Structure 1
Amino acid sequence: MPLGAVTLDAAGTLFEVAEPVGTTYARLAARHGITLAPAEVERGFRTALAAAPPLAFPGGSPARLADHERAWWYAVVRRTFGAAGMSSHFDACFAELFDFYARAAAWRVFADAPEALRALRARGLRVGVVSNFDTRLVGLLDQLGLAPLVDRIVHSTRAGVAKPDPAIFHLALEALGVPPAEALHAGNEVVADVEGARAAGLRAVLVDREGRLAPLPPGVPRVRTLAELVARLES
């Protein structure tokens, strides 16, 4: 079956945080008189994120989407802070953190991402982003110079459904005008990206930049870079 579209995850695939989350949280918290240990915050953040419900609000009012997103992150960050989350300065600290991660300065584009996106489109492929992210993603991709290199951006809060649910992939492919059998998804998470895409009828590739060597379903390729992904498609 010919390939008509490639969708990609965002954070961890196209870009990453510019510094460890624990470092950022501790630095900004200190401005508000809250003392945090970066390594402890890093562990707490991963625990809080894993325990959080999907970043999607099915049935929620579009007019209140920003409120739902902010409340979701408020709960995650408060749990990350542990006892420090009870500080009277927490709300101000959270507001600064939330705004900080809406800016390009908080993120770093992987060096291979822009050229890979250009190469995919040069082959005549439709290119989309499918991400478990909030509405800040659209502005971020624009600030990072990636928005002009993709055809569609689908994020979980606007879609009302999060990966690995097949529905979010189907929404993206409907927007791209390509059926699942003619699409491939690449991302850095085995469950959300690989298993989700395959359940939706797409081919899948794991982008394993850190060489974690997580177990994969039979026949699923693993690449270290997006340049390697493009090379595989061209071979």
Structure 2
Amino acid sequence: MTTIKGVLFDFSGTLLRIEPAETWLRAVLAATGTAMDEAEIVRRAGELERAGALPGGSRPVEIPAELAGLWEIRDRDAACHREVYTALSRQVPLPRPELYDALYERHMTAAAWHPYPDTADVLAELHRRGIRIGVLSNIGWDLRPVLRAHGLDRYVDSCVLSYEHGVQKPDPELFALACEGLGLAPSEVLMVGDDRTADGGATALGCAYMPVEHLPVDRRPDGLRPVLDLLG
């Protein structure tokens, strides 16, 4: 059996989790000085969640036909990513038109993302053991400042982001780029992620794969620790 010398981690739902939709909406209302009735805030937040308007949150209950094509390729291009998610949010009536762009901007801030309780400890231990660490994400914006703000970048050797390469998981090309970024053969790399289709696609290239559950941070205190046991 080939020894694992590197671990690739998905970002959203694996290392960090986006804030709840209601928190997201409230933060933007506060930042823009927009007043809304309390009951309406709760109602609109629920509608935004069902619309799938929060990147990293729930998938849309129903994708509008005119957005279906863009939805499938949303992580290949930054402009496409913004267009899709702001269009989804615009399905929900809000009191000011500028709120839709403000919501999108908010989700890219470090304050909107919360590391899972064991993320820092697991990354630190892998780093201590000399294991190469990469982040491999289907995403439409640069997550590196978020990692930096949470003190996680010190452990990460490489970041491969779909929108920077115009290709998204489970395409083997993206996994190949990520393995190259670690300087390792696919057989020496473990992929860890919450999406068994997108992240599990790493096995087609010869990587190992370990799934984690996409749960709120307070419901998954030690989902990443099995990585340490797996590597011995």
Counterparts in 2 of 1:49 and 1:171: CA distance versus 1, 3 Å: farther
Find the residue that maps to 1:192 and give its secondary structure: coil
Q: Which amino acid aligns with 1:198?
A: T
**1:144-163 counterparts in 2 under 5 A?**
144-163=150-169
State the partner residue of 1:114: 120
Do 2:203 and 2:209's aligned partners in 1 also have CA atoms closer than 8 Å? yes
Q: Which amino acid aligns with 2:226?
A: E
Q: Which amino acid aligns with 1:201?
A: G
Offset from partner CA, 1:6-47 (integer Å, 9 cap, x none): 1000111111123x1254236636955786522222111121
Counterparts in 2 of 1:170 and 1:188: CA distance versus 1, 3 Å: same
Do 1:183 and 1:202's aligned partners in 2 also have CA atoms closer than 8 Å? yes
State the partner residue of 1:98: 104
Matched, 1:192 2:198: yes
Match of 1:37 among 6, 25, 44: 44
Any unmatched runs of 5+ in structure 2?
A: 53-58
State the partner residue of 1:80: 89
| TM-superposed deviation, 1:71 | 4.3
Q: Normalising by the residue count of structure 2, what TM-score does the alignment of the two structures yield? A: 0.79
CA distance in 1, matches of 2:92, 2:124: 46
State the partner residue of 1:233: 231
Aligned length: 208
CA distance in 2, matches of 1:10, 1:4: 20
Counterparts in 2 of 1:185 and 1:158: CA distance versus 1, 3 Å: same
Find the residue that maps to 1:127 and give its secondary structure: strand
CA distance in 1, matches of 2:124, 2:92: 46
Matched, 1:127 2:136: no
Q: Which amino acid aligns with 2:60?
A: T
Q: Normalising by the residue count of structure 1, what TM-score does the alignment of the two structures yield? A: 0.78
Any unmatched runs of 5+ in structure 1?
A: 58-67, 212-222
Counterparts in 2 of 1:101 and 1:76: CA distance versus 1, 3 Å: closer
State the partner residue of 1:55: 74
Q: Which amino acid aligns with 2:169?
A: K
Offset from partner CA, 1:152-206 (integer Å, 9 cap, x none): 0111101221111111110011111101111110001111111x11122110000
Which region of structure 1 is more displaced relative to structure 2, 72-81 or 137-146?
72-81
Matched, 1:205 2:205: no
Do 2:90 and 2:100's aligned partners in 1 also have CA atoms closer than 8 Å? no
| TM-superposed deviation, 1:127 | 0.6
State the partner residue of 1:17: 18
Counterparts in 2 of 1:47 and 1:26: CA distance versus 1, 3 Å: farther
Do 1:55 and 1:156's aligned partners in 2 also have CA atoms closer than 8 Å? no
CA distance in 2, matches of 1:25, 1:166: 36
| TM-superposed deviation, 1:143 | 1.1
Q: How high is the sequence identity, in percent, across the aligned residues?
A: 29
